[in-house]
Structure 1
Amino acid sequence: MSPEEEPEYQTPPTCDLLSLLLKNRRPTGAVNEVWPNLYIGDAATAQDKTLLVNLGITHVVNAADGPQHINTGPHFYKDTDILYHGVEAPDCKHFDLSPFFTETADFIHSALNQKGKVLVHCARGISRSATLVLAFLMIKERRTLVDALEAVRKHRNILPNVGFLKQLCVLDSFLALQRRTM
């Protein structure tokens, strides 16, 4: 098929994305490398500095930052060389996580360009952290939402809440339109 004949990419509906996410699930651990040098993990992983050092983690993104969530912060890592980026986000379908997509993608991208290793975590490493990793793959690695979901799902079971999935769909449509007009 020539590029002119290829059908235009369409962001799938949320129900199709949920079906994809729920298909062929298998157990995953507390932390998984989901992209070269990019890990998704849970709160216990983020709080285990020995494990982080052993994994070679140089950067941490806490998608559940703040006193009401997982209150690590830069002070928690002060006795390490780990650089920290916090996003104070509840795992709630009504919370708008999209304002944090670009700044977090920039932080991850910069870390990986410096040959760093990044852990992105929330409480369980399923929804908030996965959403931010998917946004990174879409923004910086030019992946469609479906491609990003499939890449991460090869290594970890994830399940962003429905509100976050809808926000990723909006990002996916925006990026697809941007690619068509460039």
Structure 2
Amino acid sequence: MDQDQVQAAIQGPVDVEWRYEMRRECQEILPGLLLGPFVASKSLDTLLNLGVTHMCKMIFTMLAVVGIRLTRLLSVCIRDAKEAFSVKPRFPDRFQYKVLDVEDNEEQNLIRLFPEAKTFIDQAIDQGGRVLVHCNGGISLSPAFVVMFVMERCQLSWEDALHFVQNRRYCISPNGGFLAQIKEYEAIYKANIAHAAFPPTAPRIIARRKREDDDDEEEERNEDRKRPLMDDNADDDAMQL
């Protein structure tokens, strides 16, 4: 896409009028990727109507769900352990749940958890599924994961990725700690792309050549030590001649 197309994609649909009650619904961020609140995951009819297949729940003081289209629906759950009594798998007979417990504070390392969630979401979308990512309110935690996902999948800056998601779910507002990690993740994913494009093979060749040169120098030194010294008497005889 050229720059104008990128900006148009970031801007999102311009014919949607945001209403307050829409925060209780979920919105499509990318084809096959939806973002919303916990309430969206509590209705089996809603999930089935949305075509959710792989479900990934990320719970913090909030819950997040993701889904993939298979014969049996799947789910990943990341939650604060204190919420286990209320934030728990709702449809164990219909979904396979994976639960990850995290701490509910701005110091929580989301970057460490993100690769596992990203792999799950990628597989869901690539297999033709529809993924619902949600937390309790769909305001901070789950949007942070979705922003990082959109950033890397579409290779955007953190600002463009944030605007991309905000222009589709207007009520999102990642907290300060999450926003700092979103910014940090831009450099991480770009470094990973650069590393994959240019694997560091040359330094190993140079290092091997250096070891070979060092071995040659050591062998020459050893040869010097083995050479017999000239006899002093032989030197005197030579001088007399």
Pick the TM interval, shorter chain: 0.7 to 0.9
Give the counterpart of 1:170 among 178, 181, 184.
184
Structure 2 counterpart of 1:8: none
Question: In structure 2, what is the equivalent of residue 71 of structure 1?
Answer: 87
- 1:144 equivalent in alignment to 2:157: yes
Change (3 A) 1:86 1:139: farther
Looking at structure 2, the residues matched to 85 and 142 of structure 1 have their Cα atoms a distance apart, in angstroms, of 28
Aligned counterpart for 2:23 among listed residues 29, 47, 51: 29
CA contact (8 A) 1:58 1:83 kept: no
For residues 61 and 164 of structure 1, the distance between their equivalents in structure 2, rounded to whole angstroms, comes to: 19
CA distance in 1, matches of 2:184, 2:112: 12
1:32-111 superposed matches below 5 A: 32-64=27-59, 65=79, 68-69=82-83, 71-73=87-89, 76-80=90-94, 82-111=95-124
Structure 1 stretches of 4+ with a deviation exceeding 6 A read none
Choose 1 or 2 for highest CA Rg.
2
What percentage of residue pairs aligned between the two structures are identical? 30
2:101 aligns to what SS in structure 1?
Answer: coil
Unpaired runs of 5+ residues, structure 1, are 1-24
- How high is the TM-score relative to the length of structure 1? 0.74
Structure with the larger strand share: 2
Report 1 or 2 for greater relative contact order, CA contacts < 8 Å, sequence distance ≥ 6: 1
Local SS of the residue matching 1:58: strand
Q: Tell me how far apart the structure 2 counterparts of residues 136 and 39 of structure 1 sit (CA, whole Å).
A: 12
- C-alpha displacement of 1:141: 3.0
Q: CA RMSD in A?
A: 2.2
Structure 2 residue runs of 5 or longer lacking an equivalent are 1-17, 60-78, 198-241
Q: Is the 8 A contact 1:63 1:89 kept in 2?
A: no
The alpha carbon displacement at 1:142 in A equals 2.2
Counting matched residue pairs gives 155
Cα pair distance change 1:89/1:67, threshold 3 Å: closer
Counterpart of 2:58 in structure 1: which amino acid? A
Distance 1:78 1:118, change over 3 A: same
The answer to which of 170-179 and 98-107 deviates more is 170-179
